[in-house]
Structure 1
Amino acid sequence: MGWYGEPLIGFDLETTGTDPATARIVTAAVVETKGGEVAARHGWLADPGVPIPAGATAVHGITTERAAAAGRPAHEVAEEVAGVLAGHWALGRPVVAYNAAFDLTLLSAELARHGLPSLADRLRGPDDGAVGDGAAVVGPVIDPLTIDRAADRYRKGRRTLAAVCEEYGVVLDDAHEAGADALAAVRVARALAARHGWVGAMEPWELHREQIRWYAEWATGYQSWLRGKGDARAVVDDRWPLREETT
């Protein structure tokens, strides 16, 4: 058995909005799994420091009042989440995140907002030949959304986590609760590897590199589709697994 039989780290954020550059963390979860079962679970409730819009509350159930009363300071949550993820990467464990470019970019933006070390700054040593010019590389990351788009490109229908769980026979309990979503992402990744054997046969860093390419191809195609529909200025960022601005 390949990477999908090894320990996998599920990761998910619930947030104040849909723009990862400006939205804030409300809840976070990191779920350690082996064989698709929970070995350890870490969860956080943050006070984002800004009002939580009603639309976001309708999704994840956390109100501004609850976050302010029971949540921890946002900088502490961002620091701890980043530290836990970096620790797993340092051990070579893949982090599984559904639509990873959103969650990792948002976490990166939170770290920058609070003057904290970036995800890459927390990683030391060789990059295992992944990408880049020798600097620390964030990963390996496994994104079931990006893999599913590439492995079953022409399947019709939505590709939300709930829809993809249904497609792959994964039970999603308590959708939009960060821990439940993180665990479901891991189980979808395992189901993808089982259905598409060539995905499961890749090494984690090989799969990471392929997802960079697959995501860029999807973004280019989606941008063209949007422009063809009349949005001549549409731009779809093609960076994966995170869109971290550099200076």
Structure 2
Amino acid sequence: MSRPWYLRDWFAVDLETTGLDVDTDRIVTAATARCVRGVPVETRTWLADAGRQDIPLQATKVHGIATRHAHRYGQPVETVARAVATAVVEAANDGLPVVVANAPYDLTLISRELWRANAWRGIKPKSDLLILDPLLLDWALDKTREGRRRLTDLCHHYEVEHDRPHQADADAAAAAAVAYRIVCHYPQLQAMTLAEVHAAQVGWAVERAAARQAYKRRTGDPSAVVGGHWPLIPRQGMAS
């Protein structure tokens, strides 16, 4: 009898970038980690160079990578994006859950890099890409808890050791560990198939966006709009 999906290998992905705009910012570092019960057993990392685009000082303060270092040692950013996307597709084809903290940011940014470089050819999974987003799972299953819910906050709440925040390999491992703790903590997730958990997150993302939008409008921004696309934000004029 095959093991339940949550006891099989998982695959985690994380990026560090030049900023927060998925349409204009670029990959700086990337990591993937194959994990067993939230523990990485095989990790790959990349350093990217976006050519003439500098890394803002504020971003360097977060992840520690400066423009000069990226220019000197990094691979072309489109090469990194294609390598990460190919690894994700291979994981999906193997039937692995793909763990991405704040999936709409990381996955969308990868897709934008591929689109800019016209590098989509051949990168398409034969199986469904099924995502576990620990930030979304935590919100959906524990909505009343107060406090911030960044990855570092979730590590503290779920007692996951994470001593190198904003390092892509460490963040990927931490995201997998937190997601595994969440699944272990909530039997209702274990009772669902992986496809059902993925589908539930699509609905939860819409619900969370509506809650955020309502909060913003109540607290001083009456025209705020918060999108609920998950796990990928479509380009303008494109269907999700």
Which category of TM-score, normalised to the shorter sequence, fits these structures?
Answer: over 0.9
Letter in 1 for 2:29: T
Counterpart residue number, 2:108: 105
User: Which residue of 179, 183, 203 corresponds with 1:213?
Assistant: 203
Whole-Å Cα distance in 2 between the matches of residues 212 and 8 of structure 1?
A: 20
Structure 2 contact 38–179 (Cα < 8 Å) conserved:
no
Counterpart residue number, 1:178: 168
What does residue range 31-50 of structure 1 map to in structure 2 within 5 Å? 31-49=33-51, 50=53
> Residue 163 in 1 paired to residue 153 in 2?
yes
> Residue 146 in 1 paired to residue 148 in 2?
no
Whole-Å Cα distance in 2 between the matches of residues 164 and 242 of structure 1?
A: 22
What displacement does 1:174 show? 0.8
Farther off after superposition, 144-153 or 193-202: 193-202
Whole-Å Cα distance in 1 between the matches of residues 130 and 126 of structure 2?
A: 14
SS at match of 1:231: coil
What does residue range 6-85 of structure 1 map to in structure 2 within 5 Å? 6-49=8-51, 50-85=53-88
> Residue 114 in 1 paired to residue 117 in 2?
yes
Whole-Å Cα distance in 1 between the matches of residues 60 and 160 of structure 2?
A: 25
User: Which residue of 80, 89, 103 corresponds with 2:92?
Assistant: 89
SS at match of 1:62: coil
Whole-Å Cα distance in 2 between the matches of residues 86 and 173 of structure 1?
A: 29
Structure 2 contact 162–174 (Cα < 8 Å) conserved:
yes
What does residue range 128-143 of structure 1 map to in structure 2 within 5 Å? 139-143=129-133
Structure 2 contact 103–232 (Cα < 8 Å) conserved:
yes
What displacement does 1:16 show? 0.2
Farther off after superposition, 156-165 or 227-236: 227-236
Letter in 2 for 1:75: E
Structure 1 contact 30–179 (Cα < 8 Å) conserved:
yes
SS at match of 2:12: strand
Letter in 1 for 2:17: T
Q: Return the TM-score normalized by structure 1.
A: 0.91
Counterpart residue number, 1:238: 228
Gaps of 5+ in 2: none
> Residue 197 in 1 paired to residue 187 in 2?
yes
Farther off after superposition, 12-21 or 30-39: 30-39
What displacement does 1:118 show? 7.3
Identity rate of aligned residues, in percent?
41
Q: Hey, which bits of structure 1, 4+ residues long, moved more than 6 A?
A: none
Structure 2 contact 38–178 (Cα < 8 Å) conserved:
no
State how many pairs are aligned.
234
Q: Return the TM-score normalized by structure 2.
A: 0.93
Structure 1 contact 112–118 (Cα < 8 Å) conserved:
no
Alpha-carbon displacement from aligned partner over 1:104-138 (angstroms, at most 9, x marks no partner): 0111111111111179x51236x5xxxxxxxxxxx
What displacement does 1:229 show? 1.8
SS at match of 1:122: coil
Farther off after superposition, 214-223 or 191-200: 191-200
Farther off after superposition, 197-206 or 141-150: 197-206
RMSD of equivalent CA atoms:
1.5
Alpha-carbon displacement from aligned partner over 1:125-177 (angstroms, at most 9, x marks no partner): 6x5xxxxxxxxxxx200000000000000100000101100000100121110
Whole-Å Cα distance in 2 between the matches of residues 221 and 21 of structure 1?
A: 24
Structure 2 contact 100–106 (Cα < 8 Å) conserved:
yes
SS at match of 1:243: coil
